[in-house]
Amino acid sequence: MSRFFLPLLMALASVHLACQTHTGGGGEKLALDDFADGMKGAYCDHIEKCGLEWFWKSEEDMCCEDLFWQSTDAFEILVESVQAGRLRYDGESAHECLSSFLSAECYFSADTYQNLMCDRAFTGEVDEGGTCYQNVECGEGFRCVGCPGICQPFKELGEPCDSQSECNQAVADCLEGGLDTRVCTELGDEGDICDYRWDCKEGLTCDRDNEPGICTTPASEGDTCTSEEDCQAFLLCVNQSCSGPAGQGEPCEIDRLKPEVRWNACAPGLYCDANWLDGEELGTCLSKKDSGLECRSFYECRTGLLCIDLWRDPETYQIVPGQCGTPIQAQDLCTPGTIEPECDFTLYCDGQSGTCKPRPVLDDSCSDEARCLGYNLYCERGQSRVCKPKRDAGESCNLDDECLSGDCSNSSCRSYDSCRP
């Protein structure tokens, strides 16, 4: 998760210091061998179009071309399944998916990104009773039970369940069915009562303007709304109307409860001038700023610039605006404790010297201020805090950040994929 901004929306990556530009797959079909690179290219083109390269580099220690180091492993598993005949790959669907990704609006929401996932390019080929390793390998109506497992029917509506994967997710979820019990519960049709959007069938949302909520069709562009959940995917709720990102001089709105919305409020090259740090929600979309101009976030500055010397007065708690400028380089002066990082992403602002210093690498001393450089390192706890390699699946651990997978369960690092031939 990001320390400062929005939650990560996809599996993230390793650090390379030289970033490149990528393009998605071309033609009407995408070859299976090109699928992973095609997804990576489409995602990186999207990040570049939306002006958020610095966010990924600084917050997650990576460049976009390495974004898929975890996902690439998942893609390799899909390729293995296709080659073994457990999955069927549709290159035309994959190409259509990547094309939709490339043309998508700059809207960073986990819910709407689900519309861009390319799982429809793969279809399970294993019949009931056949050997499987993942749910996706089983034919329609079946799930994989065990590792390696057997394709078995999903649990029926009303049957007890422990997780959503046991129920047919197209029509049911695993929801509370009584005291300390969960059962496969049918997703709501339009007009049915709901608590959340995922209680409703695909294509519907949960209108919670009244109690109880009601499953309903999402509003189209121009229709009235009270929140983004009322609107179709990739639309915002601005001035109680569903709309896409606003243009130059148009009104924009930032939800204080969903700060990531500020990335989405305006079209590429623009920013919403609402002072979100002081709680303002309504503003106007303006052109991003050149070096030397006042800012309250790097998002207000042109691509490649950061918001330098942005801080909060410890006595008055008032925000002291910064100035758009190029990232501060090694040994140059910086301001410790700023709201956003000022140094290049391979550096940190040292509180003692007030200068940008290289981030620690393997076996170097580290701290909460001096974070280890690289996805594959973590800062060891204890009296002597040094950067150590993250651990592979099966190795012992105490905390999630000690594992390459980011998942430490029962004192052991879990793998990204717990079942593989």
Choose one of 244, 260, 287: the last residue of a domain.
287
pLDDT of residue 84: 93
- Are 231 and 337 in the same domain? no
- Are 118 and 16 in the same domain? yes
What are the tens digits of pLDDT across the range 147-196? 889 999 999 998 998 887 888 888 888 887 666 788 998 999 999 988 88
- Are 57 and 106 in the same domain? yes
CA pair distance 298, 4, nearest whole angstrom: 12
How far, rounded to the nearest angstrom, does the alpha carbon of residue 373 sit from its chain's CA centroid? 21
pTM above 0.85, yes or no: no
Give how far Cα 220 sits from Cα of 57, 104, 224, 244, 399, Å.
35, 16, 9, 10, 44
- The CA dihedral of 232, 234, 238, 244, to the nearest 10 degrees, is -110
Domain contains 73: yes
Place of tokens 């492993």: 73
The tokens of 400 are what? 């999630």
Choose one of 247, 268, 287: the last residue of a domain.
287
What are the tens digits of pLDDT across the range 52-89? 776 666 555 566 666 555 455 567 788 889 999 999 99
CA pair distance 109, 344, nearest whole angstrom: 27
Could you say which residues of the chain have pLDDT below 50? 1-26, 70, 110-112
pLDDT of residue 262: 60
Choose one of 122, 140, 168: the last residue of a domain.
122
Contact 298/280 with Cβ under 8 angstroms? no
Q: Identify the three-state secondary structure at position 146.
A: strand
8: CB partners within 8 A, 6+ apart: 1, 2, 60
